[in-house]
């Protein structure tokens, strides 16, 4: 299919998506929706962060050219490229499986494997809750300490549910990060019922443009061929063995984030005991089931505390 035809088809399919429908990125499984379509771009919004990002028409053309040469492996997709792959599979001639995105001119069209219907696009907290309950149910009936001894179905369920719970919990954690940062001073710690957090700062390096780096090398009498191509590993070696300064060749940004520094297992245990006391007031079968579940959790907590 010609690039212009593919672009027209993609815009049409994006505009036809039901309200609330989302796509998932193939590797990181980040949900995003189509905010609007323009002549030269699609604008998407990520559900886990609220971030908006343009997906440019010319970048889709680059992706199409790669597909003309063969399949594009999914595992090698960079984060910035993942949304392009997901959107591209809305067009009938482009398909994907667990391994790769492919061009198939004979494909009759089908639903994109990365498309999530509005009904299935639950809020992140609801997803975490449901996935965690399912994972807990699986862990109650299998021996996760010996995964090699599990049958294939149980091992697959354990892997899938653990992965879903992890991704959902990470998204939920990130949604709590910015409000926490607004309340955390530089040297302050905040204490919750179950743990403590503090504000932590780290720096990330980005190479400056090539001309600036070469000028810095020339000023210090360093041969350009030592870092030809601005290979970061080579550049870091040069920084370590010469008087070249880091800010001569790197733009340094600070990344502020929330770091967990403690967990209060005693408080967890006390809280669970309080819930058990409240459940004692229930006389029906539901109360008995909840008591049994809490007893099992308390046993595991006691073992963890006694081993600490």
Banded pLDDT at 281 (limits 50, 70, 90):
low
Q: Which two tokens stand for residue 277?
A: 């006391």
Nearest to 170 by CA among 206, 128, 199: 128
Q: In whole angstroms, what is the distance from residue 68 CA to residue 286 CA?
A: 59
Q: What is the pTM of this model?
A: 0.42
Q: What is the pLDDT of residue 111?
A: 78
- Encode pLDDT of 97-127 as tens digits: 878 888 887 776 667 888 876 655 556 677 7
Nearest to 260 by CA among 201, 200, 197: 197
- Encode pLDDT of 5-50 as tens digits: 888 889 999 988 887 788 999 888 888 999 999 989 999 999 888 8
- Encode pLDDT of 211-227 as tens digits: 899 999 999 999 988 88
Residue with tokens 């949604």: 175
> Where exactly are the structural domains of the chain?
3-120, 122-181, 195-263, 268-307
DSSP for 45-106?
EETTT--EEEEEHHHHHHHHHHHHTS-EESTT--TTTHHHHHHHTTSTTEEE-SSEEEE-TT
Q: What is the pLDDT of residue 121?
A: 55
Q: Which two tokens stand for residue 10?
A: 């993609």
- Encode pLDDT of 57-105 as tens digits: 988 888 888 888 778 888 888 888 899 999 998 988 888 887 888 888 7
């Amino acid at each position: 299919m010609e690039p212009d035809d593919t672009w027209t088809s993609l815009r049409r399919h994006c505009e036809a998506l039901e309200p609330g429908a989302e796509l998932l990125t193939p590797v990181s499984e980040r949900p995003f929706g189509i905010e609007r379509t323009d002549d030269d771009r699609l604008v998407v919004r990520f559900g886990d962060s609220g971030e908006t990002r343009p997906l440019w028409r010319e970048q889709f053309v680059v992706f199409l050219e790669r597909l003309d040469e063969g399949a594009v492996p999914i595992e090698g997709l960079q984060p910035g490229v993942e949304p392009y792959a997901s959107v591209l599979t809305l067009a009938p001639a482009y398909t994907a499986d667990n391994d790769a995105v492919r061009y198939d001119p004979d494909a009759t069209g089908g639903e994109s494997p990365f498309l999530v219907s509005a009904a299935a696009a639950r809020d992140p907290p609801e997803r975490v809750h449901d996935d965690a309950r399912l994972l807990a149910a699986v862990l109650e009936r299998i021996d996760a300490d010996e995964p090699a001894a599990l049958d294939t179905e149980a091992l697959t369920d354990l892997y899938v549910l653990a992965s879903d719970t992890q991704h959902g919990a990470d998204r939920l954690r990130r949604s709590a990060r910015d409000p926490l940062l607004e309340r955390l001073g530089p040297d302050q710690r905040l204490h919750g019922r179950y743990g403590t957090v503090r504000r932590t700062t780290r720096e990330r390096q980005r190479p400056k443009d090539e001309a600036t780096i070469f000028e810095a090398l020339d000023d210090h009498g360093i041969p350009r061929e030592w870092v030809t191509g601005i290979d970061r590993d080579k550049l870091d070696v040069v920084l370590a063995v010469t008087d070249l300064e880091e800010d001569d060749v790197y733009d340094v940004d600070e990344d502020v984030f929330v770091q967990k520094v403690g967990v209060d297992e005693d408080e967890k245990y006390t809280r669970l005991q309080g819930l058990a006391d409240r459940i004692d007031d229930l006389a029906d079968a539901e109360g008995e089931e909840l008591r049994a579940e809490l007893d099992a959790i308390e046993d595991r907590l006691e073992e963890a505390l006694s081993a600490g």
